[in-house]
Amino acid sequence: MALFSKFSTFTWFGFFKKILFYGIMAHWAYILLGMFIPIFTTPTILWRQWQGKKIHKTWVSYDNISEYAKEAVIASEDQLFDEHFGFDIKQIEKAFKNNQKKKKRIKGASTISQQVAKNVFLWQGRSWIRKALEVYFTLMIEICWSKERILEVYLNVAEMGDGVFGIEAAAKQFFNKGAIGLTAPESALIAAVLPNPIKFKVKNPSAYVVKRKTWILNQMNLIEWEDMDVIKQK
């Protein structure tokens, strides 16, 4: 009986080691493949489908996305995108101080890289386990992917309307055109809803969204894009 118990324990230990090994290999393969292949689905998309939501999504390459769209999301979400290594320390400190004072109104400080890590590899939520994994995957994509690839993936997987994922789907749904043809005001309006694309609307935008769109346009005009490698000069 004791021998069987030892054999059983050894067998289960070997089994879990194999599961762990293959799991690590699979997630590394996914990270590396993500450098090249389109990412057609994410945990968030699968969750929204499970909820019964009709999904609109079309992958589009980096060169087929308007430079205005790239500028708009950087201006609104992560103005130091081209400089940091996945984390904006000043914004994190600012958000921490704000959240200490206003515990009912939690303010985030996620960079575009962090949002890609969360959207592509993880589930939504605010648990410490998910945040720790987000840090890990953010570092991994910063090491393995180029900034252009991170921005390309972000613009293809971010939810930009209720069930509308990616800039190509958003451009078609809201402006009846492809992402390459988006103007600066149209791009700024899409970026304005990113904090909460289910609550905020591109069509019939609220006063808050219009105000945010105006702020984003102003930021787009102020930023010196020639210093940012991910943006090609128009």
In the chain, where the domains are located: 1-33, 40-227
Phi, psi (deg, nearest 5) at residue 114:
-65, -40
Pick the CATH number of 40-227 from 2.60.120.470, 1.10.3810.10, 3.40.640.10, 3.40.710.10: 1.10.3810.10
In this prediction, residue 49 carries a pLDDT of 92
In this prediction, residue 83 carries a pLDDT of 87
Rounded to an integer, what distance in angstroms lies between the CA atom of residue 210 and that of residue 165?
21
pTM: 0.85
Alpha-carbon distance values, 85 to 3, 128, 234 (Å): 52, 21, 26
Count, residues in the chain: 234
Which residues does 208 contact at the CB level (< 8 Å), separation at least 6? Answer: 200
Rounded to an integer, what distance in angstroms lies between the CA atom of residue 98 and that of residue 114?
20
Backbone dihedral region of 204: left (phi > 0), alpha (psi from -120 to 50 degrees) or beta?
Answer: left
Token reading at 220: 């787009």
In this prediction, residue 233 carries a pLDDT of 57
Phi, psi (deg, nearest 5) at residue 123:
-100, 165
In this prediction, residue 67 carries a pLDDT of 96
Q: Where are the beta strands (DSSP E) in the chain?
A: 56-57, 159-161, 164-165
- The per-residue pLDDT string of the chain (234 residues; one tens digit each, 9 = 90 and over) reads 554 455 455 576 666 667 766 667 777 788 888 888 999 899 999 999 998 899 999 999 999 999 999 999 999 999 999 988 777 777 666 655 555 555 454 445 689 999 999 999 987 777 788 888 899 999 999 999 999 999 999 999 999 999 999 999 999 999 999 999 999 999 999 999 999 999 999 999 999 999 999 999 999 999 888 878 888 755
In this prediction, residue 107 carries a pLDDT of 47
In this prediction, residue 231 carries a pLDDT of 82
Token reading at 217: 């346009």
In this prediction, residue 23 carries a pLDDT of 66
Q: Which of 33, 58, 16 is nearest to 121 (CA)?
A: 33
Which residues does 80 contact at the CB level (< 8 Å), separation at least 6? Answer: 88, 111
Token reading at 232: 């090609």
